[in-house]
Amino acid sequence: MTRPKLAVIFYSTYGTNHQIAEAAAAAATEAGAEVRLRRVAETAPEDVVKGQAAWAEQLEKMADIPVATPEDMAWADAYFFSAPTRFGVVASQMRAFIDTLGPVWQDGKLAGKAATATTSAMNAHGGQEATLLTLYPTFMHWGSILVPPGYTDQAIFEAGGNPYGYSAKAGEFDDKGRAAVAHQARLLVEIAGKLIA
């Protein structure tokens, strides 16, 4: 099998989606992918971030992770996205990154890539499904091949049974979540591997 190139693109304010992204990157690497773990740039004003200790600390914690660029998207064979909900849609930091992809999209560099996503929300039903369902149309504009997990593994049921992609309650990413994310990442790598074979 040709080794698929995977871009794990995430945004995290307090750490949950950072943890998910690290788990996905680790599982994908183990499954044979070449992985780039990338955080999208923070777009909130510096004083807002610094005004919340937990937010500033998380940003500090991610300081060594490269910031995602359009080139990462062009490079990759597959995408694993993770970002928290903001009223049912991924955080605007992620949308800001997405909005920079016009040129690579026009060059056809996003088409035909395998793609999947995960998210987090404060409430059990406070956007855990919606946030993925309002993100996937974007992947469709790119001509992505979508790889939602469905119910293809027992780990999915145990982590809440989200067929669109794993979703965490904010701050509560646990071993069950880890297993579901690992499955989703391995599935993505498997499909990406077939697409580029």
The residues of the shown chain that bind its own copies, judged by CB under 8 A, are: 43-44, 86-89, 91-92, 95-96, 98-99, 101, 105, 108, 111-112, 122-130, 133-138, 140-152, 157, 160-164, 167, 191, 194-195, 197
Q: Which is nearer to its own copies, 15 or 127 (CB)?
A: 127
Both tokens of 146, joined, read 């979508």
- To its own copies, the closest distance from the beta carbon of 68 in angstroms equals 14
- To its own copies, the closest distance from the beta carbon of 196 in angstroms equals 9
120 Cα distance to chain centroid? 11
Q: Which is nearer to its own copies, 44 or 74 (CB)?
A: 44
- To its own copies, the closest distance from the beta carbon of 77 in angstroms equals 12
Q: Which is nearer to its own copies, 35 or 101 (CB)?
A: 101
Q: Which is nearer to its own copies, 64 or 168 (CB)?
A: 168
- To its own copies, the closest distance from the beta carbon of 132 in angstroms equals 9
- To its own copies, the closest distance from the beta carbon of 37 in angstroms equals 22
Q: Residue 152 carries which side chain, given as an amino acid letter? A: T
Q: Which is nearer to its own copies, 62 or 145 (CB)?
A: 145
